[in-house]
Chains A and B, each alone.
Chain A
Amino acid sequence: MSLDLPATLAKSTGCRDTPVLKERGQREVFCGLTGIIWLHRKMQDAFFLVVGSRTCAHLLQAAAGVMIFAEPRFGTAILEEKDLAGLADANAELDREVQRLLSRRPDIKQLFLVGSCPSEVIKLDLARAAERLSGLHSPHVRVYNYSGSGIETTFTQGEDACLAAMVPTLASTTARELLVVGALPDVVEDQCLALLSAMGIGPVRMLPARRSGDLPAVGANTVFALVQPFLNDTHAALTRRGATHIAAPFPFGEAGTTAWLRAVATEFGVDDATFDRVTAAPRARALKAIATQSAELVGKSVFFFPDSQLEIPLARFLTRECGMTAIEIGTPYLHDAIHGPDLDLIAKGPTISEGQDVEKQLDRQHAANPDLTVCGLGLANPLEAKGHTTKWAIELVFTPVHFYEQAGDLAGLFSRPLRRKALLQAGANA
């Protein structure tokens, strides 16, 4: 299952040219505010202040699984009736709440004002508020703003909006440096850096950085690689700063990771011998782990509801590396520049859908009766109750799944529901 196909062959067999089924209707997707749940743990001196309604506060709480953290580095400034009456008032209130917050948490160095549906609709100007507050609290605190609202963003787009908001403020550099873009669990980030460093690529900068002091600089000689497939706006913002994108499949599974590393290595002129020396052992481990985990997956069909924008690279992983067949691959948004390399590697056949009309999609899913359905939390138990086997999409975002050492775990996330179903059926028939 090599990815080293001639480009022409890949083009002719892949899904890149497949007409996309575009749907507009009820969506069962989190809004972009949810990105805060992982970003506030990733950026250790940052605080995320949602300017929104009680619903936003409730969403974050529900999405975080009801109180995982005693002192979360996020909060909601809840708009009340009096804030809706006059905007000048709302700005003064915001300044006061930010003041309270910063005096309570002197360790905060980066403050993100996060726009929500209600703050967008009443046109509360958070960009100006961020500028004003930056002036008030600099140099100690840098204040950014972005929108995580459900009328603008879905789920993982929140991270994209957040990172894109940081790009214009990054320092300039003329150094030829690799920038790896997208939040990864620390352990995975370290593995990624170790692989790159073993090939002699470096220094490597990360966005987001764990601390504000480690923020990367960017310029015309910067080349960047994305590790998350939902970073469209960040991609555009970096391109505007003159940086160059290294297009590649995403580092999911053995083949995906190899292709991603290969693209970076080629850019930095790493010779084949070095590349093979560095990747041989982890590749072999990953292949072995995937083989163990994917025994249940071979020959099975999978249906993706749109959720995290990870669907296309994951479908590539499941179809090419785990022997599955995709029936429908739904994604909230499709970006050719980012998803193209993975689409090229998915064999023609599945429906590619963008957006959602959940009732119609449930009808299609029901008719197709796939062996495995990948969907959000609102749909999983109801589908299970109807006899379908599901994989909650949320775990794909909240579990380390990138790069070689996680390839087996990633396959395991999909095989475990099937294995569980088989165990319970065996128990029921015993």
Chain B
Amino acid sequence: MKLTLWTYEGPPHVGAMRVATGMKGLHYVLHAPQGDTYADLLFTMIERRNHRPPVTYTTFQARDLGGDTANLFKDAARDAYARFQPEAMIVGASCTAELIQDDPGGLTEALGLPIPVIPLDLPSYQRKENFGADETFHQIVRHLAKPMPRTANITCNILGATALGFRHRDDVAEVTKLLSLMGITVNVAAPLDARPSDIARMGQAHFNVLLYPETGEGAARQLERTCNQPWTKTVPLGVGATRDFLHEVAALTGLSPTVDESALRLPWWSASVDSTYLTGKRVFIFGDATHAIAAARIAATEIGFQVVGMGCFNREFARPMRAAAKAHGIEALITDDYLEVEAEIERLQPELILGTQMERHIGKRLGIPCAVISSPVHVQDFPARYSPQMGFEGANVIFDTWIHPLVMGLEEHLLTMFREDFEFHDAAGPSHHGAKAVARVEPEDAGGFTPPAPPVGYLETENAKSGAAPAAEPFWADAAERELKKIPFFVRGKAKRNTEKYAADRGVTEINVETLYEAKAHYAR
């Protein structure tokens, strides 16, 4: 048993739904109790799809358990075929149905439906959503794709995009454009928007492009085995990775990797003077391994941040994640425990978080800006506009997305100069969130004499929260605490931590304004 407040991944049958909902002409019959139909709203509300997921649930109830749930499944499968007339069907069980051990595969086989029926074995109590998607796509490819003669022109398949994926729709379009610049046509992109009949003709492509290893690597390996198709290992996220990807494709095809880069703006935007303020900003990265690893490379080499922490929630990719972190001189955090990630962010006090919707939330709580780079997703991760992450346009989008949560260069200078501005103080709230600024009430003791009682504020609550013995903590003199509060909120956490460490290292028990500035000088870069 494991206590969780929030979870990064759903159960494996939700992964199977992401494949089924991404495809057309495929139907999923899921042995599941009524509550499991909630998963439909992930697609109809979060992704704003205009159709219901192609899933029929058996919706068994407690009173069915002593009776014949197997027949309930058979009826549901028969009815689903009659109503939807799919080209192929996938069948499986959710976590509860797994416990009652009806055999969806065997039961459907007995029906003798005139279409391919693909049984899914997704162990709910061991595996999670990404595994479910990968395995489902793998099984569909295993059952439907067969070796066949190659197309006359050089073609490839694009693997791994699913429904509810982080910017999958636009990534596929962008990579398709990129490949066409090299003279390569896409044979089939799957699972997203493919039909079972498309899967059947995947064998005629010359090679495969794997965009999302989390959801497509099983299929890539399967196609390599059965159809002798090599697959690309570089995911084209960021400028460097996109160029590496083009070279990898060139090596597979003998075509030139040189393509028109005139639409690429990230390198110049990064080099322009306004970006100077981005130098060495401390960034924490967390997400699925593929996006997090790519983000670390972009952050360190294309934007000039300092990666102070990185990690992923999917243990299946722990090895490449650890290797990537090592290259940045840090230890990877591999966990699916939201509280562990929160503790690490609190400890590191980064200036920017690149994460999932979970980290966006952690950031909100800790007052640290965050840009979303990976699933789990939220309705805002499905923007109306074209907004890929991959290829050169994806790099442009990433630059804007990551820089946006940080204060713009000139604005930051102004804030540092006039940090006691009566309208621009912490309690006013961010101006772009529609909050009305409330002018700060200046304390009457602004003249300098000591107030009779120390204000119960930031430091007291911090101490109370950490539960540490107050004596062990360096004590902040009132003046120093007031000075600390003048520091813009987005760097205050770091300043406080650095000052306390500086004081502790030197055995200083009372922090005064001097200590604060000595620490600032000490840690200045």
Q: Which residues of A contact B (CB under 8 A)?
A: 25-34, 49, 51, 53-55, 57-59, 61-63, 66-67, 70-72, 74-81, 83-84, 90, 93-94, 96-97, 100-101, 117-118, 120-122, 149-152, 154, 359, 376-382, 384-385
Contact = CB atoms under 8 A, between A and B. Distances in A.
A101 B5 CA distance: 11
A381 to B, nearest CB: 4
Interface of B: 1-7, 9-11, 13-14, 33-42, 44-46, 48-52, 56-62, 65, 76, 79, 83, 94-96, 99-100, 123-126, 128, 357-358, 361-362, 364-365, 376-378
A120 B100 CA distance: 11
Contacts, number: 185
Given A151-B33, A382-B52, 18 more contacts: A26-B58, A30-B38, A55-B11, A55-B95, A62-B42, A70-B364, A70-B365, A76-B3, A81-B123, A84-B99, A90-B1, A97-B3, A151-B34, A376-B41, A377-B45, A380-B44, A381-B48, A381-B49
A33 B35 contact: yes
Contact of A58 (B14, B57, B99, B378): B14
A266 B35 CA distance: 41
B11 A53 contact: yes
A359 B57 CA distance: 11
A149 B34 CA distance: 9
A400 B106 CA distance: 49
Nearest to A84: B125
Contact of A80 (B2, B13, B83, B96): B2
A381 B33 CA distance: 23
Contacts of B11: 53-55, 58
B321 to A, nearest CB: 21
B126 to A, nearest CB: 6
B50 to A, nearest CB: 3
A344 to B, nearest CB: 30
20 contacts: A29-B37, A31-B33, A54-B95, A61-B7, A62-B42, A62-B46, A66-B46, A66-B378, A77-B3, A78-B2, A80-B2, A81-B123, A83-B1, A151-B96, A154-B34, A359-B79, A359-B83, A377-B41, A377-B44, A382-B52
Contact of A150 (B10, B33, B128): B33
B346 to A, nearest CB: 12
Contacts of A120: 62
Nearest to A96: B1
Contacts of B51: 382, 385
Could you say which of A83, A97, A101, A378 has the most chain B C-beta atoms within 10 Å of its C-beta? A378
Contacts of B10: 54-55, 58
Contacts of A151: 33-35, 60-62, 65, 96
A378 B60 CA distance: 18
A54 B98 CA distance: 13
Nearest to A57: B7
Contacts of B46: 62, 66
A117 B33 contact: yes
A55 B94 contact: yes
A382 B44 contact: yes
Contacts of B50: 381-382, 384-385
B35 A28 contact: no
A26 B108 CA distance: 18
Contacts of B76: 26
B5 A63 contact: no
**3 nearest CB pairs, A to B:** A150-B35, A31-B35, A385-B50
A94 B376 CA distance: 27
